[in-house]
Structure 1
């Protein structure tokens, strides 16, 4: 029944033609990002019989999660700076168009230079919001980012430096991510030529997936209290000056209940191509919704395709999950790999198989069948480690053999 509801909703939404580019650069969605009533493609099957068992891919031993629950903290923590509107106007040359580097549902994003020389990304809430509902949505997103990011500190999360709250102005100040978003490096037309981007390396793509997974693992398992992101996508994974990936944009995020319930009833929100089908249909949120989004990102890294893209024959848009699932399940992973990177080296074959099969488990239609973030991190650590070794190229024929 879940699958039938999902397919019906998918057909309706794709018929509306809501497939566009996503040009996010800093902590924001793009102008074409759409929320709530948009969804991705279904996975093939739900029993995972075609995919490698996770039993041999789990991390050895177990982690002890030391969670000492603290009381609810103020969004205005000492470690987060409070800026005046004048300071941020000066930093961005009065929010000039030449400093604009992105836009999303919350508002525009600008590159700025603070008085002390720090480069920052400044997200400015839409100042033309006249409707009360839209203003309330902006307030909720602002409060969510400030309250959550002020207490989150991890090398794979974009750091919130501070905020500004004056009259109707709501601004968020982040550390500047020099190399922009993963989305842009994978899908921007300027990066389509082979060797034009550092991402045209399988090892680097696996590392980026691992970095993002570690950031999500942190908010699920180690943040106090735990957090569900709700909008994991390639435009929300940013790259710093050392090409380390960091998860950004917590405007839709929710704090997990202190009682540690497994399910939370809430209206589904997200972005086309990435939102968990179970969450969309049933309005029941779990941490496995973030797992689904990460699975889609991993498929983007493997194929170079957008989460939803137009087919070459013009038959209509298709999701990367729907596009890759039959091929990976039948052992033809090589046929969907991004040809800008080229065929994998011998030592990279197992790495890509691990990443592909991990991704397919992540996008399972049923949340209970998806892996925990700890297991995903373990798999990707193994995949990255496997890239070390021989540098002999593998033929397409030998790579097409189905996995055991």
Structure 2
């Protein structure tokens, strides 16, 4: 009887594994598979579907001549795929298929390949010249152009195309079936997969790879460059795939980073390893990935070490469809990305070795076989009931123990003091939640950890164990914000939305609320940002740092309460079109702008030199510099901050995977994963350039107006040549006007300080003490003193 039950359980689990793996969608972007962006062969042009607009239009960028252009700006598309110098797109709704030939030349007029209001298309696939898709609902394949032939009586879950062939995963038995004009190649690949049950298939020029039903990656075809040599083939190690001419790329299931092999592509893996990608797409010689943190596109070449971040707005991570079609939930901020015209479906959870499919979902109901008796079926049912009941009992006992241990169930309130890292044997420190928070327009790399702490220096009292953040109830904060009314929304921070509120005792505060009902990974990232803010701000006290009033921690709700900054963020006064005119007489003076810069610099200097342990902010930008009612600037948002090492030790080479905001992130930190306090110096340098020019960190080439075809420009690239070429007047913000008598030297000193701050190499950047001294000297040049003036005169960093 025991053996019978064991056999039955083993069979049931095996069926469950196969069922779950087959029906979980594994996104795969191949050389010619449909996606929301595609690499056009031959021209190295990348085209993508732009989010946040009423129409999901196509924007293309030619990486050779660095120009952008729009295709059919008034038309929405759901899927793109590229071939040999041409691009195809399925219109939203699936009723029409358009293609553009000779990408890179003008004019570009679309050709309608398919039009049918009732027979809709899905699963677009383009090879070097052939175009294929499946019919929505029936999964019947259709092909056009070079090869119209398709397998008879076959239905496909997904299809992909290479050079001269196409392949698909059969709905009948999950086998790989291939076809195309190159029958030798298609036959060899189909024979290589044999009768293996497959989940996905992705094609390259002469090879194909796919995940089988046990989560292993199988590659078949040409192996001249090692493109079939999978480096690590543990079950469920890989998820998304993308193949080129002689290389293969895949995302790791554990953290969505990309690894490539074959054709020299593996040489770039150390640069992309820490970045989380939503998907990847390849041309014959170009690899592109959609970065999860900010929905931007990064491309690199497997044949050399060139890398480029494409100047796209946020692009769609998936097609906009009806939310009812999303079986695994809706992608975060989906409504905003689709501009109200649908929802983006979240990918279903992918099994891992630590979380195999048999534990993720219950097995499907099994029809009794002709030979199975009612007693056997009953035994299976009772066994399943017993297993589920045992798990529930254990969970219930754990819950009771946790409640009694923490006192949560008894109504006890806890006081959140400084949250300290855990010291490891090696002297390094770590946090339970290591991933930095996900942020809009933020490049994020996974695996962040707290750095080594140093001993408290004599005379410094930034860490006060007696300091405690006030705890609020959720109902108190909901009442203070009018139940988090949209009218009280004033911005967003490292892990949530910020609201203006008024407490019952009359205090005006800013309340940051973490995302609610987020998935596990997002929840862990929210916890990390929440803990970081409390850990730092509850023990830091400086007039140029935003003060933490308290917090709320109830169930999944995480809220932080700060002093209210009446005059908002510096970014809004410089760049927000709805706010530029406000207080313009005060903010639009060189003296005021330099004073704001000095306030921020003093706050950062305190973090670097006087906080114990020292702190590296990691996200210095104009939106994180807030202005109180007296126009005193304060540094805010410590969700990404990290503790630094002991002074006197090697504090210039700290291995740390990068996090920061596009336009402000230290390029040395990003490329080498080496975090130093000079990374904050770079961010402040960009802010200084913003104050001088009035332009965003990344702006459009037509002086900031967003128009089609305009190429984004990095403020550093725009400003530094003018400063070094003695053409400072050409780039100064015209709203402030030409510097007057005595102002010119001050503005010039700030400009040269900013230029040194954004030096490509951290060792050539000034310290925060140098910067504070220069900005104090700049204010002296206006004829009156301001605060503590450095006696050292102009620092050496501006000397020729």
TM-score band, normalised by shorter chain: 0.7 to 0.9
Distance 1:222 1:196, change over 3 A: same
Report what 2:568 is aligned to: 180
User: Cα–Cα, structure 1 residues 16 and 315, in superposed 2: closer, same or farther, change >3 Å?
Assistant: closer
Structure 2 unmatched ranges of 5 or more: 1-270, 273-297, 301-305, 316-436, 446-455, 704-708, 785-798
User: In the alignment, which of 493, 506, 512 is matched to residue 123 of structure 1?
Assistant: 512
Distance 1:69 1:356, change over 3 A: closer
Query: How many pairs were matched up?
Result: 349
Q: Which residue of 2 aligns with 1:14?
A: 310
Cross-structure match for 1:135: 523
Match of 2:490 among 92, 95, 101: 101
* SS, match of residue 224 in structure 1: coil
Aligned residue for 1:399? none
- State the SS of the aligned residue for 1:190: coil
Q: Secondary structure at the match of 1:101?
A: strand
Equivalence for 1:170: 558
Distance in 2 between residues matched to 1:79 and 1:281, nearest whole Å: 39
Instruction: Answer yes or no: is the 8 Å Cα contact 1:185–1:197 preserved in 2.
Output: no
Partner Cα distance (1:67, 1:360) in 2:
35
Aligned partner of 1:376 in structure 2 is 771
Whole-angstrom CA distance in 2 between matches of 1:195 and 1:91: 27
What secondary structure is seen at the aligned counterpart in 2 of 1:357? helix
Mapping for residues 39-50 of structure 1, pairs under 5 Å: none
Give me the whole-angstrom Cα distance separating, in 2, the residues matched to 1:377 and 1:305. 23
Q: Please name the residue that 2:663 is paired with.
A: 273
3-state SS of 1:261 partner: coil
State the distance in 2 between where 1:93 and 1:194 align.
26
Q: Counterpart of 1:34? A: 442
- Among 669, 679, 692, the alignment partner of 1:289 is 679
Whole-angstrom distance in 2 between the partners of 1:335 and 1:215: 31
Once the two structures are overlaid, the 10-residue window that deviates more, 314-323 or 189-198, is 189-198
Partner of 1:237: 625
Higher RCO (CA < 8 A, seq sep 6+): 1
- Structure 1 residues 183, 163: closer, same or farther in 2, change over 3 A? same
Structure-2 change in CA distance of 1:303 and 1:30 (3 Å): farther
Displacement after TM superposition at 1:344 (Å): 0.4
1:255 aligns with 2:255: no
**What does 1:334-373 correspond to in 2, within 5 Å?**
334-373=729-768
**Cα distance, 1:98 vs structure 2:** 1.3
Aligned 8 A contact 1:233 1:297 in 2: yes
- Report the alpha carbon displacement of residue 89 of structure 1 after superposing the two structures with TM: 1.1
* Counterpart check, 1:110 vs 2:499: yes
- Structure 2 residue aligned with 1:49: none
Instruction: Give per-residue Cα distances to partners, 1:91-144, cap 9 Å, x unaligned.
Output: 111111111111245111110001110000000010131x21111100000000
Q: Is the 8 A contact 1:33 1:105 kept in 2?
A: no
User: Structure 1, residues 169-206: CA drift from partner, whole Å, max 9, x if none?
Assistant: 11000000000000000001134459735210000000
Task: Classify 1:324/1:212 alpha carbon distance in 2 versus 1 (closer, same or farther; 3 Å).
Answer: same
Query: What TM-score comes out, normalization by structure 1 length?
Result: 0.80
CA shift, 1:15, in A, is: 3.7
CA deviation after TM superposition for structure 1 residue 71, in Å: 12
CA shift at 1:67, angstroms?
4.5
- Segments of 5+ residues of structure 1 without an aligned counterpart are 20-28, 38-64, 390-402
Whose radius of gyration is greater, 1 or 2?
A: 2
SS in structure 2 opposite 1:225? Answer: coil
Distance change in 2, residues 1:173/1:379 (3 Å): same
8 Å Cα contact 1:321/1:363 also seen in 2:
yes
Distance 1:15 1:303, change over 3 A: closer
C-alpha displacement of 1:381? 0.1
CA RMSD across the alignment: 2.8
| Equivalent pair of 1:102/1:109 in contact (CA under 8 Å) | yes
Contact 1:102 1:108 in 2 (8 A): yes
Counterparts of residues 78-89 of structure 1 (less than 5 Å): 78-89=467-478
Between Structure 1 and Structure 2, which shows a larger proportion of strand residues?
Answer: 2
Question: Which deviates more, 100-109 or 210-219?
Answer: 100-109
**Is 2:463–2:611's contact at 8 Å kept on the other side of the alignment?**
no
Shift of 1:84: 1.0
1:32–1:252 Cα change, 3 Å: closer
What secondary structure is seen at the aligned counterpart in 2 of 1:123? Answer: strand
Q: CA 1:185/1:30 → structure 2, altered by over 3 Å: closer, same or farther?
A: farther
Higher mean C-alpha displacement, 254-263 vs 217-226: 254-263
